[in-house]
Amino acid sequence: MSSQQYKTLKGMQDILPPDIFLWQKVEQTARQIFSTYGFQEIRTPVMESTSVFSRSIGESTDIVEKEMYTFTDKGDRSVSLRPEGTASVVRSYVENHLDKLPAPQKFYYAGPMFRYERPQSGRFRQFYQIGVEAFADSSPRMDAEVIAMLERLLSGIGLEGVSFQINSIGCGQCRPGYRDALLSFFSEKKEDLCDDCKRRYDKNPLRILDCKASTCRQQRQGAPRITDHLCEGCRTHFEKLQTLLSLLQISYSLNPEMVRGLDYYTRTTFEVTSQSLGAQNAVAAGGRYDRLVKEFGGPETPAIGFALGMERVIELLKLTALRSAPSPSVFFAVLGDAAGSACLVLAEQLRKQGRWVEVGDAASSLKSQMRRADRMAVRHVFIMGDDELRSGMLKWKNLAGAAQGEVKLSDMELFLAGQS
Ligand SMILES: [Zn+2]
Ligand SMILES: [Zn+2]
């Protein structure tokens, strides 16, 4: 019988050491920073009724039309793996009456999302996002706070060379007028648009503005700008946001073409891009969605959020950050069985203090144990044999600094505390 070798599905990947240490660093930093802004974690299922996503993200978006993992379960229900986080959080917000909590209600999530996309570099069918959603605060101060928090996170994890772009895409009051202006602008250019945009012309002409096809880029030169069509309320909101961002010393640029791919956005939208990834690849993106909670059957509730793409962040960190994998602080090289047992007890004591301790294999030579310690980039190696057991004095070596010496067994904890 021949054995079968399995591989991950196309577009999916294992995340392994040492990369995983970068992932953990980003996740830990996010939790720490979000908590200082009062954001609390929410965990929703990775699978929902398909309509949770099609209703919110929009029937005519690429995500819903082409990219969702949708199937019928054994109860004959149409279910989908979540392609993004916001829809599930809003579903949960309404279902669990989270609007009854003191306002504003602020949540974050972290976990895998799924889209059946053509795999390419840096894009996966199971990908990870960290996102936040803030409910029941319509003021531009909340927009500024959420953007500031994202900026803190990115600088907290050591990501450099990123830039913020912001835009306002208006509201139910002013967007129809802008839509009309776009329709008349594109009416004579319609035949020159890409096939997707020919359809978008009728369904969602705003999306022609962020189409990546070169022909559409050309055709939209001189197109009317949403920011020239904002109603009084939207304009004031957008101006106030800019004032607040300047006050917070967050640099940004205006990008009137950034409309974001999802249907549910209103007013503020923003993106963070990095030069190293190219302008098409946002590291993080978000916006305000003041109507979505109501559309999910909840009370009229303004909201704003963002999501950060973990794979892209990790890719960037690998370009710049020092990859510091953790290493053991103590390694016991042991000679003989009695020494091995003694070190097992010692190791337990040191681990209780939170140190990573490794004990060598008494059956292998001192040389090969030292080699193993070296490969693990251990800070201190202690050598323990019958002589050391009797005398209570241990030889130690600092592998990096080449320092060495002796320490009393009873003084070990004190010695290590002085070294770290
Ligand atoms: Zn408006
Ligand atoms: Zn197009």
The answer to the question of residue 116 being in a domain is yes
The answer to the question of residue 187 being in a domain is no
Q: Note whether 316 and 334 are same-domain residues.
A: no
Q: What is the pLDDT of residue 280?
A: 63
Q: Note whether 378 and 257 are same-domain residues.
A: no
| pLDDT band, very low/low/confident/very high, at 321 (cuts 50, 70, 90) | low
Nearest to 299 by CA among 290, 308, 287: 290
Q: At what angle do helices 50-57 and 86-95 cross, to 10 degrees?
A: 110
The answer to the question of residue 249 being in a domain is yes
Q: Note whether 267 and 311 are same-domain residues.
A: yes
Nearest bound ligand to CA 171? 1
DSSP secondary structure of 277-331: G-TT-EEEEEEE-TTHHHHTTS----EEEEEEEHHHHHHHHHHHS-------SEE
Q: Report residue 200 as tokens.
A: 């978008």
Q: Which domain holds residue 387?
A: 330-419
Euclidean distance between CA atoms 41 and 131, whole angstroms: 10
Residue 247, pLDDT > 70, answer yes
- Work out the end-to-end distance of the chain between its first and last CA atoms, rounded to an integer number of angstroms: 54
| pLDDT band, very low/low/confident/very high, at 281 (cuts 50, 70, 90) | confident
Nearest bound ligand to CA 190? 2
Q: Rounded mean pLDDT of 47-54?
A: 96
CA 40 / ligand 1 centre spacing (Å): 30
Q: Rounded mean pLDDT of 243-249?
A: 97
pLDDT tens-digit readout, 76-130: 999 999 999 999 999 999 999 999 999 999 999 999 999 998 877 778 999 999 9
Residue 256, judged by CB atoms within 10 A of its CB (0-12, 13-18, 19+), counts as: middle
Q: Note whether 254 and 131 are same-domain residues.
A: yes
Q: Note whether 234 and 287 are same-domain residues.
A: yes
CA 140 / ligand 1 centre spacing (Å): 14
- Higher pLDDT: 180 or 323? It is 180
pLDDT tens-digit readout, 380-405: 999 999 999 999 999 999 887 778 99
143's enclosing H/E stretch is: helix 140-156
Q: Rounded mean pLDDT of 130-140?
A: 98
Q: Note whether 285 and 409 are same-domain residues.
A: no
Q: What is the pLDDT of residue 322?
A: 63
Q: Note whether 143 and 35 are same-domain residues.
A: yes
Q: Note whether 254 and 157 are same-domain residues.
A: yes
The answer to the question of residue 200 being in a domain is no
Domain count across the chain: 2
CA 206 / ligand 1 centre spacing (Å): 15
The answer to the question of residue 83 being in a domain is yes
Summary mean pLDDT of the chain: 92
Q: What is the pLDDT of residue 64?
A: 85
The model's pTM: 0.90
Q: Note whether 236 and 162 are same-domain residues.
A: yes
Nearest bound ligand to CA 212? 2
Q: Report residue 35 as tokens.
A: 């908590």
CA 367 / ligand 2 centre spacing (Å): 65
